[in-house]
Amino acid sequence: MSRDAIKHRLKIGRLHSVTRGVYAVGRPELTDLGKWMAAVLASGEDAALSHRSAAALWGIGSQGAGAFEVTVPSSAGRGRKVAGVRTHRRTGLEHRSFTRCKGIPVTKPVLTLVDIAGLGRHGDETRLGNAEVERAVNEADRLDLVDPEALRAGLERYRGRRGVARLRELLDRRTFRLTDSELERLFLPLAAQAGLPAPVTREHLNGFRVDFFWPDLLLVVETDGLRYHRTPAQQARDRQRDQAHLAAGYTPLRFTHAQVRYEPEQVRSTLRKVAQRLAGS
């Protein structure tokens, strides 16, 4: 389309200028998808949406009030600056790190998670808290974008990039598993500190082997070694266990191995409150 053709369409309202070289057709208002596509188009042929903007497009995070973010391989050369767009120019990225979502070029989910986990490098970047990063990983799993096992494997491709170590630590904590003896060694003092007597361990109850059992309180505590991506069969089995205990008049309570190891105060507090309620009932 010639310059004169563009000028004519701008004059009659068929086109509306968004930024240099990028136009909206028909009306000036843009949806979020339109704004993201405009940011990518304005940044050059090899640009892709990334970081917070990519997380928002994938549905695992939010855009926030900051600039739209795009990534451009350093091999693409120096591009022009675009108002309202932050350009990340990076080496070592191949085109297989990019894909399309709803027609918009974007970093793939694994790289998107690496990028948002590594935020905070620049003074005007706000570092995401651990809960926000973990929520993004959970959402990526729930939306079938990437499960934790595939994410862990995918991190190898981006070894050394900011955010990889943080994601590995998060995955390690949430798939952490103690041996039976280690679990008892860490859990039993927490129960005692919460005011509970010594439990019966590895008892068979209502057709299931339980980890810890207090007969006087009718309290059952189960511990899960894997928080992420339990299969539907495993989840169904857990529900059956809990339902069987509830139907028999027992109170089932669950903690992850990672909670026992890394969040002892939360475990103590929960045990104390539940035990007090059961003792008073």
Same domain, 98 and 125: yes
- pLDDT-above-70 percentage for the chain: 94
Residue 260 zone, left/alpha/beta (φ > 0; ψ -120 to 50; rest): alpha
pLDDT at 77 (0 to 100): 60
Question: Tens digits of per-residue pLDDT, 266-280?
Answer: 999 999 999 999 998
Least confident among 52-56, 108-112, 231-235: 231-235
The pLDDT of residue 202 is above 90: no
The pLDDT of residue 210 is above 90: yes
Q: What is the mean pLDDT of the chain?
A: 88
Higher-pLDDT residue of 124 and 95 is 95
Same domain, 20 and 78: no
Task: Indicate the number of domains in the chain.
Answer: 3
Query: Considering 111, 146, 174, which residue would you say is the last residue of a domain?
Result: 174
Same domain, 158 and 118: yes
Measured CA to CA, the distance from residue 252 to residue 242 in angstroms comes to 6
pLDDT at 269 (0 to 100): 97
CATH code, 260: 3.40.960.10
Same domain, 40 and 165: yes
Residues 55-64 have a mean pLDDT of 93
What does the radius of gyration of the chain's CA atoms come to, in whole angstroms?
26
Residues 125-144 have a mean pLDDT of 87
Same domain, 119 and 42: yes
Same domain, 205 and 71: no
Question: Tens digits of per-residue pLDDT, 104-132?
Answer: 999 999 999 999 999 886 555 678 888 89
Question: Tens digits of per-residue pLDDT, 15-39?
Answer: 998 888 899 998 888 999 999 999 9
Position 178: which residue type? Answer: L
Query: Considering 174, 203, 227, which residue would you say is the last residue of a domain?
Result: 174
Q: What is the 3-state secondary structure (H, E, C) of 15-82?
A: EEEEECCEEEECCCCCCHHHHHHHHHHHCCCCCEECHHHHHHHHCCCCCCCCCEEEEEEHHHCCCCCC
Same domain, 53 and 26: no
Same domain, 168 and 232: no
Same domain, 189 and 223: yes
Same domain, 161 and 193: no
The pLDDT of residue 81 is above 90: no
Same domain, 25 and 90: no
For the beta carbon of residue 77, count every other beta carbon within 10 angstroms. 10
| pTM of the model as a whole | 0.71
Task: Return the axis-axis angle of helices 164-174 and 130-142, rounded to nearest 10°.
Answer: 70
Same domain, 43 and 168: yes
The pLDDT of residue 230 is above 90: no
Quote the domain boundaries for residue 26.
1-30
Residues 148-162 have a mean pLDDT of 89
The pLDDT of residue 238 is above 80: yes
pLDDT at 147 (0 to 100): 86
pLDDT at 89 (0 to 100): 86
pLDDT at 78 (0 to 100): 61
pLDDT at 19 (0 to 100): 84
Q: Could you give phi then psi for residue 188, rounded to 5 degrees?
A: -60, -40
CB-based contact 36:71 (threshold 8 Å)? no
The pLDDT of residue 192 is above 80: yes
Mean pLDDT is highest, among 12-26, 162-176, 192-206, for 192-206
